[in-house]
Every structure is written in C-alpha cells, then in structure tokens.
A and B are shown apart, each in its own frame.
Chain A
Amino acid sequence: MEELLDILKSLHPDVDFEHCDSLIDDKILDSIDIVSLVAEINDAFDVAVPAEEIIPENFNSAQALWEMIQRLDEA
C-alpha cells in the first residue's frame, strides 16, 4: 500500500491520495495518468491490469486500487 501511494504521489505530488475517494469522478486522474499508473503497477507488483478492469470504481481511491491489485494477484 505504501508503495502504491508513492507511485500515486509521483504522478500528482499535490493530491491527498490517502483520503481522496473521487480520483476519477473529480477528474484528478486523466487517461494518461491512468495508463502510467497501470504501467507502474505492472512494474512494482507484477500485476497486469486488463483493460476491462479500468473502470471508475477501481480507480477512484488508493484503497480501491489496492483491493484491485490484490484481487488480480490472487486470481
């Protein structure tokens, strides 16, 4: 989780990722951020996020992202 937050912070240093739960709905992350994030997650956690998982529910908060990563890791 710490590592994920670091990745997020490197994208937007000025955003409070611990508490924000509307990263997509409030347009804080745009599509370029999202694909950067997916690439970083792939590097850091060795988890491939398929295109169908790129939906607002999975990207709205750091928590949701973390849950998705764990789910994908298990499956």
Chain B
Amino acid sequence: MSFASAQFLAFFAVLFVLYYLIPRRHQWKLLLVGSVFFYFFAGWYCLVYIGVTAVTTWLAARKIGALQARQDAWLRERREELNKEARKARKAADKKVRWRWALGSMLLNFGILAVVKYTDFVLGSVNGVLSAAGAGTQLPLANLVLPMGISFYTFQSMGYLIDVYWGKYPPERSLGRFALFVTFFPQLIQGPISRYNDLSQTLYAEHRWDSRQIAMGGMRALWGLGKKLIIADRLAIPLRELTAAPEEYAGLYVLAVMFLYAVQLYADFTGGIDITIGVAQMLGVKVTENFERPFFSKNIAEYWRRWHITMGTWFRDYVFYPLSVSKGVLKLHQKARARLGEAGKRVSVYLCTMILWFVTGLWHGASWNFIVWGLLNGVVILVSQECEPLYARFHGRFPGLKGTFGYRLFEVGRTFVLMSAIRVLDVYRDVPLTFRQVGTVFTSFRPSVLWDGSFLELGLSAGDWLIAALGAAALVVCSLLGRREPVRQRLVRRPSLAWGGCAALVVCMVIFGVYGIGFDATQFIYNQF
C-alpha cells in the first residue's frame, strides 16, 4: 500500500490508536505485527523473501557474536601464559571463522537481491550482444517480481551483519526484535537505510503519549504527503508525456525535463521520507535524516553528503572504506607511487571512487542508464577534485569573491544544473537516447515553445502549472526558513497556528492533490441514451 492511499491512512490510524492503548512493553510487538501486515499487503511471496533475510542475518550475527565471546573468554583465561604472537594468531584464526559466517550470509542475501534485480538485466545485455553478433537465438527473460523494498532492507540487514562482524556492537538476541528492525514499515518502501545501533535506541523502547512529538511527526508526515500529492504527482504528468515520445520533445523540452525531474524527484523522494520520519516520530521512533536541503549544495561531493544521506554513508562505510584499505588496493597505491611519484598517490583512490560509483549506479537500478549515471557522478567528483588548485588560483586572484552571496548563488546554481543534467539518465529509455536528447538542446533550441502554449499540451493546464510553481516556491521558502530550526518546531509552540496550518494544508491537498479519476466534463456529453 502506498503512503498516499486511503488504505495506508486507515492502517496507520488503527495502529496508532492501538499503540498508545496497549501496555507499553508490548508496543514493539505491535509494530512488528503491523509491519508484517503492511508487507503482507504487498504480496505474501514478499514475506518469504524478507523472512529469509531476517532469519539468516539474525542467525549469522548470533553465531559471529558467540564466536567472538568464545574467543574473548579464551584469551582472558590464558592472559598470563600467551605471548603477543600467540594471541595474534588465535585472533586471526577466529576472525577467519567469523568471516566465513558473515560471508555466507552476505553471499546468500546479496545473491537473492542480485538474482531478482539483475537477472533480466544480464539476460537482456547478453541478448544485445547476441543480436549484435548476428545470432538468431535470444535468451528468454525471467520476469522475476521484485519484492517491495528489497534493496533497502537487504542493505540495512547486511550493514548490521558487517557491524557485528567488526565488533561494533553485540548481536541482537531476540529474533522478533531483529525482524522488526528489518521490516519496520515506515521505511520499507523507500528507506532510509537505518543503522541498527541508531534505530534500536528508540525502536524497542516504551513510548508514552507525547503530544509535542506526535504533533511534530504529524505535521511532518502531512507536509510530506502534500509534497507528493500536489507537486510530485502533478509534475509526473508532463514528465510522462515528455519522455514517452522523446522524438517529439527535443531541444528546450530536454532542458525542461531536467529541471522538472529535479523538482519532481525531490518532492517525491523527500516527501516520502518526510512521511516515513513523521510517521515514525508519531510512534516515538527516531529515524535518521536522509536529506539536508541538498539543492543548496555548493559542489557535487557536498550534494552527495546531503542527498539520500543514508545510502551515501552506507556505500562509504561498507564499500568505499573496506575497498580502499584492502591489501590489494594498498599494494597498488605503493606501486603507483613508486612509479608515478606524487601523482601516483591518487591512482588507487580514484580507482576506488569509480568502483564505488559503479556499484552505486548498479544499486539504483538494473540498467545501463544507472551505471552510466553512477560513473558520470564519479567522474564529475574526481574532475572537481583535480580542479581544486585551479579554483584556488582563481580565488587568489579575486580574493573578495569567495563567500559573497552572489558567488555562493553561482555555486549552488552550478551544482543544481550539473546534477539535473546527470540525472536525465534516470528518465529516458536508454543511454544513447539520453545523449541524443541532450545533444538536441544545442542543435534544435527553439525558445518559442516557452510562450506559444506548447507547455499547455503536456497534460497540465495553466492553472496546474501555477500550482506546481507555487508549490515549488513554498518548498524553497520552507527550506530557507528551516535552516536553523525546522518550521514545525516553531509552529508547535503556537498551537493555533499549527492547527490552522495543518487544516489549510489538508484543504489544499484535497483540492489540488493529483489523485482519483479526473473530472472530465466532455465524458458527460449526452449522446445516445
């Protein structure tokens, strides 16, 4: 069930009331039951997938924890008799055993993810090669159904497993509690990817009714729903039209796609996360922030620290760092340095960065679009890293410029345009098409479409465009107002204003939201009966 549906509203209303009525020590159990129900709604087969991940991860983590405890006890008992080398040897041997358990569980769970998500991508790519080679045969596609949220819960579970393997914290003893960590319903659909040591602080605690927290959460969820219904779903209409017939919409339209998609994706994704965090807050659970006003970033590296934060840090902690400190990479580093001198220092780091972005792209979706998208991100980040001395020279010559409002605005604008341009890989069917489309921006640039009414043919009326623009403006204003303190934190101190604002937002959503069957008077033309 989607967040923007009557079913979810009803589901959450029931859960919310029960949550604060039952004895507090059972609250987390209710959340587990609710989450399983929520997941069941998406299809019973999904429960099998998530169940396998939850149980195997829990088992492997417990085994690793037990092995660690055994090793610690063994070492403690023989503290006196063993020398440093013997201790080291035992530790290394035990680590290998623990690693085998971790690896087994990772292979299984990443394997499941890979099979359901990438089988058809691989088969399709093989088919592409086959037909290019002139072969008449094609492999049949598997058409596997992707279980809801599998990318998110798999990553969340594996992050936990690696942390336990690293000894960051002891494993969770209770299977029920761990299952709740994996299935917690507000973050099933689109994350964020929580860390166990973070989420577990509030997930299992007993929560009293806290009007302030509930009001804050409610406001946030409502705001997120508004973003989705009024802005994201509205802009999705012209975007569908523009990308369904790319030949017709070239040139300036491609620029429109870039910027409309930036706003649409932002409203949709942050709106969804607002609902997630808001709903969790209403239940007393604190979910990590996933965005930090990303469109105000001054460069792409910063953008990626502020957009989809939990994904970025996941890849950093569990892919980029382990890869960068692995023996092979360190050896490469030494070799490159010996051969190339100072410049060689960067070889291994840059290689790891590109691998990171390749994997990040692949995670986003099983298609070449996302792989190219990821690699482009990596290239841009590395290029701007290389350009840093250039910037430094530039600022050395114009020392008054850095830090001025105008220059900051330029930096923010530059980042926004660059990210929007890279992101068009999300929207068009395939990579060559995307590049062709972007090319037309330069070859067939006809600004007249801006004012000759062409944009009114894309499924939105002038009034609709106005609503979308006002909505986007409201997002910017709220973002700016919320720099020091979120707007709702100020609102919650003035109950009348908060209630009034929420009521107004509900009315706006009911009227201007994009949902249901559009009323079309032409359907009613009375012809035959």
Using a CB–CB distance below 8 Å, which chain A residues touch chain B? 27, 30-32, 34-36, 38-40, 42-43, 48-52, 54, 75
> Contact at B345–A38, with CB atoms within 8 Å?
no
The residues in B between 327 and 362 inclusive whose CB is less than 8 angstroms from any CB of A are 327, 329-330, 333-334, 337, 345-346, 348-349, 352-353
Beyond known contacts A31-B320, A32-B385, A43-B337: 20 more, CB 8 A cutoff = A30-B301, A32-B353, A35-B349, A35-B352, A36-B349, A38-B324, A38-B325, A39-B324, A39-B329, A39-B333, A39-B345, A40-B345, A43-B334, A48-B325, A49-B325, A50-B325, A51-B317, A52-B167, A52-B168, A54-B317
Q: Given A27-B305, A43-B334, A43-B337: A35 and B345 within 8 A (CB)?
A: no
Collect the chain B residues with CB atoms within 8 Å of residue A42's CB.
Answer: 325, 330, 333-334
Contact A39 B321, beta carbon cutoff 8 Å: no
Most buried by B among A30, A31, A38: A31
The 5 closest A-B pairs by CB, nearest first: A52-B166, A35-B324, A51-B322, A39-B333, A51-B321
Enumerate chain A residues within 8 angstroms of B167, measured Cβ to Cβ: 52
Known: A31-B320, A51-B321, A51-B325. A39 touches B349 (CB 8 A): yes
A42 to chain B, nearest CB (A): 5
Q: For B334, what are the chain A residues with a Cβ–Cβ distance below 8 Å?
A: 42-43
Q: How many residue pairs between the two chains, A and B, have CB atoms under 8 Å in the bound complex?
A: 55
Q: Which of B374-406 contact A (CB under 8 A)?
A: 385
Whether A48 pairs with B320 at a CB distance below 8 angstroms is no
Report A-chain residues with C-beta under 8 Å of the C-beta of B301.
30, 32
User: Contacts A32-B353, A52-B167 known; A39 to B322 CB distance under 8 Å?
Assistant: no
Cα-based distance from A42 to B329 in the complex (angstroms): 11
Q: What separation, in Å, do the CA atoms of A50 and B322 have in the docked complex? A: 7
B173 at the interface (CB under 8 A from A): no
Chain B residues engaging chain A, CB cutoff 8 angstroms: 88, 166-168, 301, 305, 316-317, 320-322, 324-325, 327, 329-330, 333-334, 337, 345-346, 348-349, 352-353, 385
Q: Which residue of A lies closest to B350 (CB)?
A: A32
Q: Is the CB of A36 within 8 A of B345?
A: yes
Q: Within 8 Å CB of B325, what residues of A? A: 35, 38, 42, 48-51, 54
Can you offer 5 A-B residue contacts whose CB atoms are under 8 A? A30-B305, A31-B320, A32-B301, A43-B337, A54-B321
Q: Do residues B316 and A31 form an inter-chain contact, with CB atoms below 8 A?
A: yes
Give bound CA distance, A41 to B352, whole Å. Answer: 17
Query: How many Å lie between the Cα of A75 and that of B167 in the bound state?
Result: 16
What's the least CB distance linking A72 to chain B, in Å? 11
Residues of A within 8 A of B320 (CB): 31, 35
| CB nearest to B345 among chain A residues | A36
Residue of A nearest to B346 (CB): A36
Is B321 a contact partner of A34 (Cβ separation < 8 A)? yes
Chain B contacts for A34, CB-based, 8 A: 321
Chain B minimum-CB-distance residue to A30: B301
A49–B334 Cα distance when bound, in Å, is 15
User: How far, in angstroms, from A39 to B305 measured CA to CA in the complex?
Assistant: 23
B327: chain A residues at CB < 8 Å are 48
